[in-house]
Amino acid sequence: MLRLMELSHMGLRAVVRDADTARPLAANLTVVKPKGVRGAVADARGYLHKPMAPGVSYWFTLQPYDPAAPAVRYEGISFTASLPVGRSEMLYGTNFSKLGVVRTFLGVKTGGTSG
């Protein structure tokens, strides 16, 4: 039962911040590869969690935005991630740190705004 609670944290855990002010940003996370996998959304506090399967390499695109300033645009962020754990380690292992990928993303303004 305890292992099931640990597995609920398996995947990508991230926080999205403005590169200039360190204020939290919301964001849309798109899974580019593997095909057919749903994305995720970072809430207005900048927190994001995307479950991931072990042994699969994921390609993501993250599009930050500021809900308080919708005219401000941010550059998209492309990255890859995979869980450094095999199936047997996932089921029977004791190393919690291998179950997650933890990242901080900094949103960079594009310099232009739309009206």
* pLDDT single digits (tens) 1-42: 555 555 556 788 899 999 999 999 999 999 999 988 888 999
- Cβ atoms of 93 and 84 within 8 Å: the answer is no
pTM to 2 decimal places:
0.79
Contacts of 92 by beta carbon, 8 Å cutoff, 6+ apart: none
d(CA 3, CA 83): 17
Q: pLDDT digit string (tens) for 59-105? A: 999 999 999 898 999 999 999 998 876 666 656 665 555 667 888 99
Show Cβ contacts of residue 98 under 8 Å, excluding neighbours closer than 6 positions. Answer: 83, 84, 85, 89
Query: Which domains occur in the chain, in start order?
Result: 2-106 (2.60.40.1120)
